Structure 1
Amino acid sequence: MFKNIAKITTGTLTAVTLLGSAMFMASDASAEKVLRFSHTDNPGGSRQAAAEVFAEKVAEYTEGRYKVRVYPAGQIANDPKAIEQLQLGGVDFTVSATGSYATHMPSLNLTAMPFLVDTYEQGWDFYDNSAWLQGEFSKLPAKGFRVLSTWEAGFRSFTTSDPLTSPKDAVGKKMRVYPNDMIRWTMEAIGFQTVVMPITDVYLSIQQGVVNGQENPVDTIKSLRFYEVAPNVTLTRHVYSPLPLTISEQTWQSFSAEDQAAVMKAAKESSDFSRKLVRDSVNGQIDEMKAAGASVSVPVIGPFRDSVQSVYEKAKGIYGDEVEKVLADAAAIREKLPAK
């Protein structure tokens, strides 16, 4: 009797073990790997919208092998820390202004030289086709991350607590900047005192009078509601400031060639989506800010352009001939695609 019980028990355990193994293998075969995407835009902003498109396309084009989980509003890290996390493999993707990456590739500061391009189309051509910029991007994998595509944010403009009609109004005022030499030099050339701080601290700092304003593209100004605490929006469009989408090099190297191609395709399509969304949304965002009580103005740009001439010379003193390469590429693109 006991022998029969033992046989039954052994047979049952074997069947359970085999069934469990089969279930595990089936689960493992269909399991998706979760990739983390950190950014600092609010959930309602264009970066989040593009991130959702990117995540959807990655899942589609990898046939469910990968799932991108998006963490907006600096939940994981601010922009500089997110880039550090890329290098360490702590996050898989981030998207930030080109100048944010300059801590690791100083020459990228040059993309933030003032008034390089005048239109979105010129900016897109510069980021997609500038021989100089593509050459700099090709060096980034050695730093621990690589550029997949470029998303749109637009042209940087000001929001200030007091009106800003000319550089004279900047004298004695404190302007928040992110850690980028070119932006800092430009602000100081205009007349501001500069204060470096993460974007996640800016709203409260303006509200408390720590700084008198900040500068960002309209999309960011609207998304992060800076116009509520600094209601004077001055559309200088002084720097074209798109957002390279980057991936951890560790993550990239872990992909098969097939999955690398799938992620690149998703990145390109999310870039197309982002560019169209931001370009087509700007006028509506300006109208919404006006309706909310913001004062929006377009100043005479000549005095602002004149005030920043020293920035080019300062850049040449540090980056030498690289400055001329950037200016030459930008000039060729402006000639090819003149502003209408």
Structure 2
Amino acid sequence: MTTTVALLLASGPLMAEEIELKLAHVQPQSHVFHKGAEKFSETLKDLSGGEMTVSIYSDGVMGGERSLLESLQIGSVDLVTVTSALTSTFSDDYAMFSLPFLFASYEDVFRILDDESITKDLGQDLIGKGIRPIAYWIGGARSYYGTDPVNELGDFSGMKIRTMADPYYVKTWEALGALPTPLPFGEVYTAMQTKMVDGAEGAVNTYVSKKFYEVSPNVALINYVYSVQPLHIAESTWQKLNDEQRGWVLEAAQASADHERKMLMEVDDALRETLDEHNVKVTEPDIEPMRKAVEPVYADFREQYGDEVYTLVEKILAQ
């Protein structure tokens, strides 16, 4: 008989023949996050011989990203994937992933996230808050999309750009000359449609999956942030698993990360053709002037978080 983890948390170690975990995310089922979630589910079921199963809740039906993390803390959901930018509001360790132009390519990101000398200490603060990171997915490279084309740094001047409510995203767009306008993700389409904003920053694969091209027919590929997307498990759920079950979860999590990244690269490889199909005008501005413009953002980060944290930033930049 299927028993949810939520019902078992108060009754000691998990001994049920089948454990059902709830995994939630905010993207549609066409998104690579859902593909990663499906891979986690399939792998965990195979590894456990059917003892552990996963129910996936997509499209934000369990709430927005902040709500998902808060639900994870109280154990009403077992696994979530949310941006590192949102995760950083629960743990400062993740703030560095919001720095602009930190990575040069997907290959850089994958190498860093698989480097235990960098990731081993990430998440310790989170664990104390009921959140345990178990894998790192990638949400894509964040660029600009909007009403008007961008060919150079100066074109951003005075533009109202929707950003996430992340202080370093905001600082970055201020440094680039824009007027950053933090809005919830669910309001992006309407904000662009009604001209509340001139454009937005985000992963271009999400731009396609959410059909933002209908209201913002221009994309500038600046790849200023590669979105790190941790997969978290509720610490309360983790503590109720035995060692064998934890091993299955970790192995399934890594398999999901490998698969999600592979799917992301396939989407990215086909992205230019997909944009052409939707009559999107694509530009590739010189990013070197942008790198120069955002240097004060790094100085602010170092002043806020100190040399110890900034040493990790320097280590990533040196890779």
TM-score (norm 1): 0.85
Quick one: which amino acid aligns to residue 233 of structure 1? V
Quick one: which amino acid aligns to residue 205 of structure 1? A
Is the Cα contact below 8 Å between 2:136 and 2:231 reproduced in 1? yes
After TM superposition, the structure 1 = structure 2 runs for residues 57-72 of structure 1, keeping only pairs within 5 Å, are 57-72=43-58
Cα separation, 2, equivalents of 1:233 and 1:278 = 18
Compare 221-230 and 124-133 and name the one that shifted more. 124-133
Specify which of 284, 302, 316 is matched with residue 316 of structure 1.
302
Is the Cα contact below 8 Å between 2:145 and 2:218 reproduced in 1? yes
For residue 182 of structure 1, what is the aligned residue in structure 2?
Answer: 168
What are the ranges of 5 or more consecutive residues in structure 2 without an aligned counterpart? 1-14
For residue 46 of structure 1, what is the aligned residue in structure 2?
Answer: 32
For residue 103 of structure 2, what is the aligned residue in structure 1?
Answer: 117
Is the Cα contact below 8 Å between 1:173 and 1:212 reproduced in 2? yes
Is the Cα contact below 8 Å between 1:109 and 1:181 reproduced in 2? no
Specify which of 215, 224, 239 is matched with residue 210 of structure 2.
224
After TM superposition, the structure 1 = structure 2 runs for residues 1-340 of structure 1, keeping only pairs within 5 Å, are 32-129=18-115, 131-333=117-319
Q: CA deviation at 1:273?
A: 0.6
TM-score (norm 2): 0.90
Partner of 1:53, secondary structure, is helix
Q: CA deviation at 1:242?
A: 2.3
Aligned length: 305
CA separation of 1:154 and 1:130: change in aligned 2, threshold 3 A: farther
Partner of 2:27, secondary structure, is coil
- 1:159-192 residue CA offsets vs partner (Å, 9 max, x unmatched): 1111122232222221111221111111111122
Q: CA deviation at 1:287?
A: 1.1
Cα separation, 2, equivalents of 1:271 and 1:160 = 30
- 1:116-146 residue CA offsets vs partner (Å, 9 max, x unmatched): 1112121112122163443132332112111
What are the ranges of 5 or more consecutive residues in structure 1 without an aligned counterpart? 1-28, 334-340
Partner of 1:136, secondary structure, is coil
- 1:242-291 residue CA offsets vs partner (Å, 9 max, x unmatched): 21111111111111111110010100111111111112321312211221
CA separation of 1:31 and 1:209: change in aligned 2, threshold 3 A: farther
Partner of 2:133, secondary structure, is strand
Compare 181-190 and 192-201 and name the one that shifted more. 192-201
Equivalent pairs: percent with the same residue?
30
Structure with more helix by fraction: 1
Is the Cα contact below 8 Å between 1:228 and 1:294 reproduced in 2? no
- Larger-Rg structure: 1
* Deviation beyond 6 Å, 4+ runs, structure 1: none
For residue 6 of structure 1, what is the aligned residue in structure 2?
Answer: none
